[in-house]
Amino acid sequence: MSSPQGVRALGRVALAIVPLYLIWSLAISPSLAFAARAIIVAVSVLALISPAEALIVVALITPLGDLIGIGLEAPIRVAEAAVVAFFAGWLLRPVLTHKSGPSPTMAVRYGAWGLAAIVLASIAVQALHIRRTTPGAWMVATSILGRAYFNVIAGDPIGAISGARLVEGLGLSAAVVVLLRRKPMLAVWLPEALGVGCVAAAGAALLLWWGIAFPAVLARHALIGDRVVAHVSDLNAAGSYFALLLCLAAGMAARERSSKRLGWSVVAASALVGLWLCVSQSANAAALLAIATAASWSMTRHWSPQHRHRLLALVVIVIAVVSFTLQREREEDPAYRGTSFRIQFAETSYRMIQARPWFGIGVGQYYPTSPLFFTPPLALAYGAENAHDYFLQLAAEIGMVGFAACAILLAGTAWLVAQRLAGAPDDYRVLGLAAGVAAFLLTCITGHPLLVSEVAYSFWIAAGLLLVLSSPIRVDSGAGRPFVEMTPKRAIFAAGLLLLAVSIPTRARMPLPRVTHTRAIDGLYEWESGKDGRRYRRTDEYASVFVDGNPRWAEIPMRAPRE
């Protein structure tokens, strides 16, 4: 084995250590049903033997991971276990010489690697901080990473689960790019696998609507009300998933002919049924905007660029005006408080960003830290909650440095897609994928679908497929080229990674965010003195009181002003 191949092999084995450890811990767990363990181990073995087929299996089962876990009575995150099993097998395969094929630009590659590195550094910072300040919590965290990592009720004190979900998603997109270069038929098989998963998810929702489902799913639905979703518990995340698949199916139906077009029409119909049942207004609006924009682009492909841009702008404006009008009608309902709460969530996120602007409060820490930054109405309504805006939550958790890496990744991908569609406006597969990915990302502005594994993995697979189909062809002979060629861009990136690593011990010694007693957070005005000489503080309708430690009781004198 030559030296470059040996270095690559060692790197892949190093990356496979954690997935292997987690899958081995799962495989030998005596408390887990044999069928569940067999499925996960089979995915890992298949990935070692034939990774392209294993990726298809992952695309098939991850949207239904929650239902599979319930059906097998296995209280684990089946979707994540399948993805980790895929990486455990795929990374152990021998390193082969890269073939020529589609290759993303350097901006996309550096953005993805930078984002992954920042997330992993955030996990390391939180682990070192807990080990230094709370040894008992450190023992709990290490126990979770071993025996109970995949458990549904496992805690996440250092953000390992939340951070891993994001890194796994980036890895899935990278796997699509790498494997499709070796097996181009994945460009056909992966969309079909995603379509089959969509039909199954919509079918499960229809059965639930008729009262047919696992007891656990029926019990969960009883707490929700009229909205119907079976394959995940987050209704809006399910809407994001169906919006993604609706656009993909529409593009594939326009591309295919005969029986395949009929099949994709069935997938599109199932996605429409799923959207109708889950009643996610943000997903409906995003799907409408994406499909209308894609359809306008397709119908005007022979127009001049100026006329096309004007029509697209008109479509966006019309849909925005209609959406704004409908939203105003909802706001006139006295019982509707959605707009006010979303504004308060945005203000909460901004306060978190101000507290830790560069590297954030820590991946996975938005939910447990949110009570320190909530307004009193939010604290009363939610106690603790995610941001209802994934991008703001990402900026709060990994800071503006991490958000910049994410922005570079998204902008680089958008540029490649725009270039591809400008050169091949009749490529309906890329157009449908682009519309679906865009619709999904639009729903991230009002929700957090990427925090739901069963939905997130489908998005990352679709995003990887869109990226590789939009990337230019790179001719890579591999002859006479040094393994590591230190260009200025690579030097800058390496220096950034070095600074990131050096910052970890310093950041781990920083104290955790503490509550800032401002009127926006506690709802209290400044101290005043009454006629009787007593000092008091006025409040509006809501106020929050913070106490340190674990007090057994608190005495808070209160009085109401005379009318």
Residue 82 inside a domain? The answer is: yes
At residue 548, the pLDDT reads 75
Contact 403, 395 (CB under 8 A): yes
Residue owning tokens 């709460």: 341
Gyration radius (Cα) of the chain, Å: 25
Residue 469 to residue 186: CA distance in whole angstroms: 11
Tokens of 288: 């409408």
* Count of C-beta atoms within a 10 Å radius of residue 379: 24
At residue 325, the pLDDT reads 62
Residue 174 inside a domain? The answer is: no
Residue 169 to residue 178: CA distance in whole angstroms: 14
For the residues of 149-185, what is the DSSP string, one character each? TTBTT---TTSHHHHHHHHHHHHHHHHHHHHHHH-TT
Residue 462 inside a domain? The answer is: no
Residue 211 inside a domain? The answer is: no
Contact 192, 62 (CB under 8 A): no
Residue 340 inside a domain? The answer is: no
Distance of CA 261 to the CA centre of its chain: 30
Tokens of 128: 């070192």
Residue 323 to residue 305: CA distance in whole angstroms: 27
Residue 430 to residue 462: CA distance in whole angstroms: 10
For residues 208-241, one letter each, b for 16 or more C-beta atoms within 10 angstroms of the residue's C-beta and e for the rest, the string is bbeeebeeebeebbeeeeeebbbbbbbbbbbbbb
Contact 458, 241 (CB under 8 A): yes
Residue 299 inside a domain? The answer is: no
Structural domain boundaries enclosing 91: 1-97
For residues 67-77, one letter each, b for 16 or more C-beta atoms within 10 angstroms of the residue's C-beta and e for the rest, the string is bbbbebebbbb
DSSP-based three-state secondary structure for 473: strand
> Hey, what's the torsion of the CAs at 110, 436, 291, 228, to 10 degrees?
-150
Looking at the DSSP bridge assignments, the partners of residue 127 are none
Residue 64 to residue 83: CA distance in whole angstroms: 13
What's phi and psi for 259, nearest 5 deg?
Answer: -65, -35
Closest to 444 in 3D by CA, of 401, 501, 386, 483? 386
Task: Write 420-425 long-range contacts (CB < 8 A, 24+).
Answer: 420/469, 420/470, 421/297, 425/297, 425/298, 425/301
Residue 150 to residue 85: CA distance in whole angstroms: 12
135-139-145 Cα angle (round to 5)? 140
* pLDDT means over runs of 10, the chain (563 residues): 63 82 85 87 94 95 94 89 94 70 87 94 91 72 68 78 93 94 91 96 95 91 86 93 96 88 94 94 89 82 67 70 59 55 88 92 92 89 89 95 95 92 88 95 92 95 95 62 62 87 90 81 82 80 79 79 62
Considering the entire predicted model, what is its pTM?
A: 0.91
Contact 209, 279 (CB under 8 A): no
Residue 10 inside a domain? The answer is: yes
Tokens of 199: 């039909």
What's phi and psi for 101, nearest 5 deg?
Answer: 170, -175
Residue 326 inside a domain? The answer is: no
Q: How many domains are there within the chain?
A: 1
319-276-311 Cα angle (round to 5)? 20
Residue owning tokens 């030998």: 28
At residue 560, the pLDDT reads 74
